Amino acid sequence: MVNIPDVYHINNSPPYTFDYHFDEISNYKTRSMLTVPMTNRRGDLLGVMQIINAQDDDGNVIPFAKSDEDHITTFVTSAAHEVERAQMTRNIILRMIKMAELRDPMETGAHVNRVAAYSAEIFEEWAKKKGSFHKDEHVVKQKDVLRLAVMLHDVGKIAITDLILKKPARLNMDEYEEMKSHTYKGAKLFEDIESEFDEIAAEVALNHHEKWDGTGYPGHIDPYTEKPLPGYEENNGHPRPKMGEEIPLFGRIVAVADVYDALCSRRSYKEPWDEDRILEEMHQSSGKHFDPEITEAFFSCLDVLKSIKKRFPDENKEE
């Protein structure tokens, strides 16, 4: 812990200095400062909490008292535990992503990072057009949660047999039907929803293969019973596909991001498409496969998506 009465009057003995540049650009005057390390139960440094400019009852800046150190230590300990818990949750999610990558040769780290980043940018662009981004803190937070959740959009593939998952050719009809089950099997992993992340991850896993015109899958299905929802069973016993705004927003967004990445990428059955062909397909799919509003947002942020594509190249792209 470091308790500095006046950061502008630090003598030469301490192994630290004060950078007044931020005061200059913010037109703020820092005087007293209390900095406390945030450590986890093992003693690893997680970060530093910095508190500046203690005040007396009249609003005058004064040095931090010794008693302030005791109070802030208790608060910092609690904050450090929350940070550690958040890091633990994120690490578990990242391990789940690596697990899916081990099972599916197409589910590479580069692929999930691209689709996740595309989705976040498309969502931001869509929200801006709706006038809600930067005005609603919850929407800004959702962008970060969405990006992490999308990295698990195909996690249900861990339940698909290798004979289908790693088949180096197009699937036959029966194999394709089995492959389609990865949507609700992935959503089932988030059955006990305890956070916004769980909710969004389940929504994305279940709905990212639905199509705006109602020709997608898996449709109105309960992922936990794997049966059609009441009132949504077709004559063949299959659930009725979702269409239009029946498809949740994040499912509609990831559908665009996932198809764009698939068209840009090499697969066992295809080479990457050239850019003109890709963009023509994305345009033609508006109102059919894709929500027209989401397609518009996609094209509005296309330059950003191209930079993301360069940031996460496939490791085997030269093979």
Co-location of 166 and 258 in the same domain: yes
Do both 77 and 114 map to the same domain? no
Other CB atoms within 10 Å distance of the CB of residue 310: 8
What pLDDT, on a 0 to 100 scale, did the predictor assign at position 102?
A: 77
What is residue 195's predicted lDDT score, i.e. its pLDDT? 87
Contact between 255 and 211 (Cβ < 8 Å)? yes
Is residue 316 one of the residues assigned to a domain? no
71 and 110 within one domain: no
Confidence at residue 317, expressed as pLDDT on a 0 to 100 scale: 43
| Structural domain includes residue 93 | no
CB 180 within 8 Å of CB 218: yes
Whether 59 and 112 share a structural domain:
no
Residues 36 and 174 in one domain: no
On whether residue 99 sits in a domain, the answer given is no
**Rounded CA gap, 13 and 149, in Å?**
49
Q: Do 113 and 232 fall within a single domain?
A: yes
Asked whether residue 92 is assigned to any structural domain, the reply reads no
151 and 241 share a domain?
yes
Per-10-residue mean pLDDT of the chain, 319 residues long, equals: 94 90 94 94 90 95 93 90 85 81 71 94 93 74 91 91 86 93 95 89 97 97 94 91 96 97 81 93 97 98 96 66
The verdict on 255 and 150 lying in the same domain is yes
Establish if 319 belongs to a structural domain: no
Answer whether residue 119 is part of any domain. yes
State whether 43 and 144 are in the same domain.
Answer: no
pLDDT at residue 319 in the model: 36
Which residues, other chains included, contact 91 with Cβ-Cβ below 8 Å and sequence gap of 6+? none
- CATH number for position 77: 3.30.450.40
Beta carbons within 8 Å of 280's beta carbon, 6+ residues apart: none
- Residues of the domain holding 118: 105-311
Nearest CA among 53, 46, 116 for reference residue 86: 46
> Considering the entire predicted model, what is its pTM?
0.76
Per-residue pLDDT, 305: 97
DSSP 15-79: S----THHHHHHT-----EEEEEEE-TT--EEEEEEEE-EE-TTS-EEPPPHHHHHHHHHHHHHH
Note whether 125 and 243 are same-domain residues: yes
Q: What is the pLDDT of residue 318?
A: 39
Same domain, 218 and 269: yes
Angle between helices 275-284 and 249-264 (to 10 degrees): 150
Beta bridge partners of 222: 227
* CATH assignment at residue 124: 1.10.3210.10
Q: Of the candidates 82, 116, 142, which is a domain's last residue?
A: 82
Residue 174 in domain: yes
Domain membership of residue 197 (yes or no) is: yes
Number of domains in the chain: 2
Same-domain check for residues 152 and 189: yes
